[in-house]
Amino acid sequence: MDARKITVETLREWKGCRPLGALTAYDYPGARLLDEAGVPVILVGDSLGMVVLGHPDTTQVTMEDMVHHLRAVVRARTHALVGADLPYMAYETPAQAVRNARRLVEAGAEYVKAEGGREILPQVRAILAEGIPFMGHLGMLPQHVLEEGGKYRIKGRDDAGRRILLEDAVALEDAGAFACVLELVTPPVAAEIRSACARMLTIGIGSGPDCDGQILVTHDLVGAFPWFTPRFVTPRVRTGESIRLAAQEWLASLALRKA
């Protein structure tokens, strides 16, 4: 194995020592560019449903979608650790979770991610028993957004919510998850979870600066989906606007040439 290849064990060693940066990729050029930039963790997220496939949320993403895009990302042969989301309704039982996690691994995933805490512990344990590294996801759960009336709500605002998040995180760590995404968790609670989990990396998204690392949807970071940007993201470039402008300038050059 290339000595520069990032592994789960590499990331475990970073806990408390250096910040972890993770970004999403959905195709070969995207993965290759992120890898050349030195991004250590790539997630083929079910966010592809919105930023690539045009769905209103992640609930319409299928296993076939995930496998298709994962295979494209894996062709970049990255040094980054590459994983993928188990999509909506793909891990209802331990047997189904294992079957679909294996499909992702066969397509090239080096870890799998799923949403939920103690309610999915049987599935998490079954996946880990197969030797497949697991990343959790707590806080705002995009696959459950329709159950919450289509609203993305911040989690951990009261003591009951704080307690649920903390207990879920500790349960995932005890089960063997190497990392957990904390999405839209109040920053004090995210910091508390990080302190409570000595072995599991916490990766924030809209959850303040005190996690072990941060993850973003790459389209948000680079302004490639200009019709919506989360409030907690400041795009570093505006590629959507640049693409639109390039196309307009090219069309104008064709008109000039004909004239």
The residues that are catalytic are 183
Contact 233, 218 (CB under 8 A): no
Q: Nearest 5 degrees, angle CA 138-CA 211-CA 44?
A: 55
Task: Give me the half-sphere count of Cα atoms (radius 13 Å) on the Cβ side of residue 165.
Answer: 31
Contact 226, 203 (CB under 8 A): no
- Quote the tokens at residue 80: 């980054």
Residues facing residue 21 across a β-bridge: 214
Distance CA 65, CA 46 (A): 9
Please report where in the chains the tokens 């294996």 appear, as a residue: 102
Q: To the nearest 10°, report the CA torsion of 232, 15, 179, 199.
A: -140
Rg of the chain over all Cα atoms, to the nearest angstrom: 19
Share in percent of the chain as helix, strand, coil (round to 5): 45, 15, 40
